[in-house]
Structure 1
């Protein structure tokens, strides 16, 4: 009976351990309730394009008009917000979000030249034209200013942080993005790149070596291809490498090109990066030494989800369980032996 109870308790303990594991939660996808059509002004360069490409003189005012419709039978609220284009870690241009820190070469942020709309109500199946004013910089500039208009469906929800748990917060839902590119002239600008930095980093909680590439010119860098290798200083063995094609950089922007360690640990020491970038007939090459400190390596290794931290809680739990069961068996054997000795004495 005692052995049966012990087995049952062990099974319940194992079941409890399983329930403490984190579980993923899936969210349902929802479709957009809006449709958007840009209405181009006379300053539009090419009306066949699905975004604004405007040629305007310095100091000129322009109005960007968007036809926004509600495709559902229920009333909704929408808002249009301007944003400045930047380059994300994947090597793609983002038109409808804000970068954490703008590139220092960026003189005019497009979002600062436009005014966002108010939150606008649309009845079921209603269509409205939303106007966004644009004020060009007073001083002439070369190349392009790039960004986008984000048309967002917003919903009101209870704000638990409000006093007494009451209040209303605006929650952004799903969005369309319409690109905006403005210029003073049609003169082309030659793209130029610079390697700003190389450092130990993480991307999605995985160890990478990041090479910060900067486009400090007011033009797009198209069909960008990058090849990179990392070696220890003074050695020929390639430790890590990465290559990617068909990327694009926004004007006056930078991004961190990641070189994955493929689940490997950071090890302190001196390293050298060799990186080549090409765009059309343009080519840039750099060789840059960098150092990974021991404290930095330990910190990043602990945070990497692909690296065994050295503490296997399943193994520890199983070991403790086995020790407890072994101790229980030994205790029962000792009790049984003691009972037999007591019977002999009687």
Structure 2
């Protein structure tokens, strides 16, 4: 009897350990295998940074260079592009988009001043480095503010000879080196404008989005946005969203998303109240908008159903049951041992 009790206790313990272990995620880290650095020229106006921060003049032509070092033991291929900075919908200044949708306020960007051959494919032998150059020419007319972009270097993943599964996941790593060109020492302050407000869907989840634009050639940093939506002519807040530590590239826009969450936002007339702050600058917007019946029906066809909340009562009951079983086993072991001692 005592031996059987110990076997039961051991089996129960192993089952519990297995259950806990099954819920623990695992992660693996991959080595990047290469580095990229900027060769900073003499007109670098900020010696404390490792990206291009250049003081330039109208009509100036200059060749810039980066160095790609392949630290791996095999030949690697890379794609180098000069990208215009934009603001993605997370409120982050983004240099990774090769063909971004440009804001209407952008008059002169990286694609206007860099030679077409700046975007190139580069092969670097194992454990060697290669210097990559690209040339820009500033317009004749003096420009206010800054042109902001980035040198984007992306490793081309090796192509597998044959697929061993229907779905293959390949890791690709990229570096972005900032590129800031400025003719005037005077800083141009950013600004904010509110454009379209609409109901839409992001990753199959319903949102109200407010398109925010920075129409000036100045960087917006430390941006905080606080937005809420009410029914038209009422004060009760239906949904709200606050986000801090964002930024906006010069002459760019992004869609600030306010999630519907688990609340129903039917067709009707609504009002958006949005406030924003970046440094000492503040903005306040109020905008009425309408969500049409056909919009709600279209979104509801593809919306992802809300995730079910964990059943904590079930977990508590299972925990209690396990505790009772352990107590019974301990009691049986104790009683069996006590009977053996009496015998």
Normalising to structure 1: TM-score of the pair?
A: 0.74
Aligned to 1:206: 205
Query: Against the structure 1 CA distance between its residues 134 and 159, is the aligned structure 2 distance closer, same or farther, given a 3 Å change threshold?
Result: farther
Aligned to 1:301: 300
Aligned to 2:91: 91
What SS is found at the alignment partner of 2:49? coil
Aligned to 2:39: 39
- Preserved contact between residue 61 and residue 136 of structure 2 (Cα < 8 Å): yes
TM alignment of 1:172-187, pairs within 5 A: 173-187=172-186
1:253 aligns with 2:255: no
TM alignment of 1:141-290, pairs within 5 A: 141-155=143-157, 157=159, 173-290=172-289
- Preserved contact between residue 118 and residue 133 of structure 2 (Cα < 8 Å): no
- Preserved contact between residue 82 and residue 119 of structure 2 (Cα < 8 Å): no
> How far apart are the structure 1 equivalents of 2:112 and 2:208?
33
- Preserved contact between residue 239 and residue 258 of structure 2 (Cα < 8 Å): yes
Query: Against the structure 1 CA distance between its residues 73 and 134, is the aligned structure 2 distance closer, same or farther, given a 3 Å change threshold?
Result: same
Residue 80 of structure 1 deviates from its aligned partner by 1.3
Residue 29 of structure 1 deviates from its aligned partner by 5.8
Residue 200 of structure 1 deviates from its aligned partner by 0.3
> How far apart are the structure 1 equivalents of 2:290 and 2:245?
30
> How far apart are the structure 1 equivalents of 2:248 and 2:161?
38
> How far apart are the structure 2 equivalents of 1:39 and 1:82?
15
What SS is found at the alignment partner of 1:119? strand
Residue 195 of structure 1 deviates from its aligned partner by 0.3
Residue 235 of structure 1 deviates from its aligned partner by 1.3
> How far apart are the structure 2 equivalents of 1:295 and 1:99?
32
What SS is found at the alignment partner of 2:72? coil
> How far apart are the structure 2 equivalents of 1:159 and 1:280?
53
Normalising to structure 2: TM-score of the pair?
A: 0.75
- Preserved contact between residue 190 and residue 219 of structure 2 (Cα < 8 Å): yes
- Preserved contact between residue 220 and residue 250 of structure 1 (Cα < 8 Å): yes
> How far apart are the structure 2 equivalents of 1:206 and 1:159?
38
Q: What do the CA deviations read for 1:15-55 (whole angstroms, capped 9, x no partner)?
A: xxxxxxxxxxx997643221111110111111220210111
Query: Against the structure 1 CA distance between its residues 112 and 295, is the aligned structure 2 distance closer, same or farther, given a 3 Å change threshold?
Result: same
Structure 1 gaps of 5+ residues are 1-25, 161-170, 309-346
> How far apart are the structure 1 equivalents of 2:191 and 2:145?
13
What SS is found at the alignment partner of 2:300? helix
Query: Against the structure 1 CA distance between its residues 183 and 261, is the aligned structure 2 distance closer, same or farther, given a 3 Å change threshold?
Result: same
Aligned to 2:123: 121
Query: Against the structure 1 CA distance between its residues 45 and 172, is the aligned structure 2 distance closer, same or farther, given a 3 Å change threshold?
Result: farther
Aligned to 1:136: 138
Residue 120 of structure 1 deviates from its aligned partner by 2.1
> How far apart are the structure 2 equivalents of 1:27 and 1:264?
35
**Deviation above 6 Å: which 4+ runs of structure 1?**
none
Residue 230 of structure 1 deviates from its aligned partner by 0.2
- Preserved contact between residue 154 and residue 172 of structure 1 (Cα < 8 Å): no
> How far apart are the structure 2 equivalents of 1:281 and 1:48?
25
> How far apart are the structure 2 equivalents of 1:84 and 1:101?
10
> How far apart are the structure 1 equivalents of 2:148 and 2:263?
38
Aligned to 2:340: none
Aligned to 1:105: 105
